[in-house]
Amino acid sequence: MSHIIRKNTASRATIADVAHHAGVSKATVSRFLNHRDTLLSPEIAGRVAAAVQALSYTPSPMAQALKRGRSRLVGLVVADITNPYSVAVLSGAEHACRQAGFLMMLFNLGNERDRESAGLRVLSGYQVEGFILNTMGLEQEAVVTPALQGRPVVLVDRLRQGMDADFVSLDNQQAIAMCVGHLNEAGYDELLLVTEPPAGISSRQERVAAFEALHGGRGAWVASRADDPAGLIRALQAVRSRATRAPALIAGNAVITMRIVEAVAELGWRLGSDIGLVGIDDTAWAPYVGPGISAVAQPTDALGTLAAQCLIERMEGLDVPARAIRLPGVLMARGSTCRTISG
């Protein structure tokens, strides 16, 4: 039994096996595989072809690409693959890469701040031709830049100060303005933006700045941590105590939306009537939680597609100033922003 296992696990033939079987050199086999069999005699070419067929030899696409000077690999580094946003962007980027003849390699940071340069080095070792980055963005450029090794980069959702790279993102100012306008029209009088700590994360900072510009004189925002549910509950109680009618919350992303839903349930409140809620990032579960969670749907597939297209253009030699592309979101209004009872 052990002999059979060893035979099966070592079944992939190599170019050396083909050369030995045909009684020729590896260089001769290489010429044949690279369609240069006109340099070989018909008898030699026939022997190599027979050996390839007999051994079911399949050339390594990676090895062939590297011989041509191109790996046709794209590296994608994401902060957290469990975030629905990351998965949706990955899908759009992967499809665009595949359509253009590129393959994508993924490195997930798992929200660990010190893994970014390590991930870039790992992907560089596979000879990726460029990077799409949706990262924490907290490691110093002196550490990150050498790991990129001069390859083109496209940033998704999160800018990096000092990095001259194309950038694609939701239009955060438009998204927050849409949320505030919707909540005001629905009759909520005290608004609160709830976000994860914004320090160093450009998308969160942009949302905070937009909210403060639109509603700063009449509301506030609060940073929420996963390890502080009690702090979130206190913030919700405080905003409700200030409201003359029902207050409303804007959640900075889908993770915060779910934390708020949990806190509201613990307080025994009803979404929509006791407190309003609209979140950035629409999810598959949003229509089915409580009365349905209102949310701003990000054009995630388009963002991923654009990121891949921008990167492919750069890898093919495009040399223009760094581009910033911000796409609008779409408001999906549901029961969590429907006031049915006066406050």
Find the DSSP H helices in the chain. 2-9, 15-22, 26-33, 42-55, 61-67, 84-99, 116-125, 141-148, 172-185, 202-215, 229-242, 254-267, 300-315
Average pLDDT over residues 319-334: 96
> Is residue 202 domain-shared with residue 258, that is, in the same domain?
yes
> Is residue 141 domain-shared with residue 192, that is, in the same domain?
no
> Is residue 214 domain-shared with residue 292, that is, in the same domain?
yes
> Is residue 82 domain-shared with residue 98, that is, in the same domain?
yes
What pLDDT is recorded for position 67?
A: 60
Residue 187 lies in a domain: yes
Residue 41 lies in a domain: yes
> Is residue 101 domain-shared with residue 145, that is, in the same domain?
yes
More confident residue, 262 or 10: 262
Average pLDDT over residues 226-231: 80
Weakest-pLDDT range from 2-6, 128-132, 147-151: 2-6
Structure tokens at 248: 């409303």
Weakest-pLDDT range from 4-18, 83-97, 287-301, 321-335: 4-18
Instruction: Give per-residue pLDDT as tens, 229-278.
Output: 888 999 899 889 888 889 999 999 998 999 999 999 999 999 999 999 99
Three-state secondary-structure class, residue 88: helix
pLDDT at 220 over 60: yes
Weakest-pLDDT range from 55-69, 163-177, 237-251, 313-327: 55-69
Half-sphere exposure of 126 (CA within 13 A, CB side): 19
Average pLDDT over residues 92-98: 92
Q: Which residue has the tokens 């080095």?
A: 121
Pairing relationship of beta strands 294-297 and 330-332 according to DSSP bridges: antiparallel
pLDDT at 215 over 50: yes
> Is residue 178 domain-shared with residue 268, that is, in the same domain?
yes
More confident residue, 111 or 32: 32
Q: Residue 134: is it exposed, middle or buried by C-beta count within 10 angstroms (0-12/13-18/19+)?
A: buried
More confident residue, 317 or 228: 317
Instruction: Give per-residue pLDDT as tens, 155-170.
Output: 999 888 778 899 999 9
Find the DSSP H helices in 23-108. 26-33, 42-55, 61-67, 84-99
Q: Residue 204: is it exposed, middle or buried by C-beta count within 10 angstroms (0-12/13-18/19+)?
A: buried
What pLDDT is recorded for position 127?
A: 84
Residue 66 lies in a domain: no
Average pLDDT over residues 287-313: 95
pTM of the model: 0.78
Half-sphere exposure of 207 (CA within 13 A, CB side): 33
Residue 343 lies in a domain: no
Residue 68 lies in a domain: no
Contact yes or no for 254/278 (Cβ under 8 A): no
Instruction: Give per-residue pLDDT as tens, 22-47.
Output: 899 888 888 887 666 567 888 888 89
224 pLDDT band (50/70/90 cuts)?
confident
Residue 67 lies in a domain: no
Average pLDDT over residues 292-319: 95
Number of domains in the chain: 3
What pLDDT is recorded for position 314?
A: 93
> Is residue 20 domain-shared with residue 112, that is, in the same domain?
no
Q: Please, which residues bridge with residue 76 across strands?
A: 106, 132
Domain that holds residue 210: 172-298+330-337
Which of 19, 36, 59 corresponds to the end of one domain?
59
What pLDDT is recorded for position 7?
A: 34
CATH of the domain at 35: 1.10.260.40
Average pLDDT over residues 201-228: 80
> Is residue 36 domain-shared with residue 121, that is, in the same domain?
no
What pLDDT is recorded for position 37?
A: 58
What pLDDT is recorded for position 208?
A: 92
* 275/247 Cα distance (integer angstroms): 5
> Is residue 290 domain-shared with residue 243, that is, in the same domain?
yes
> Is residue 221 domain-shared with residue 287, that is, in the same domain?
yes
The C-alpha torsion from 189 through 190 and 196 to 197, rounded to 10°, is 130
218 pLDDT band (50/70/90 cuts)?
low
CATH of the domain at 182: 3.40.50.2300
> Is residue 291 domain-shared with residue 192, that is, in the same domain?
yes
> Is residue 196 domain-shared with residue 267, that is, in the same domain?
yes
Q: What is the mean pLDDT of the chain?
A: 84
* 249/36 Cα distance (integer angstroms): 67
Residue 65 lies in a domain: no
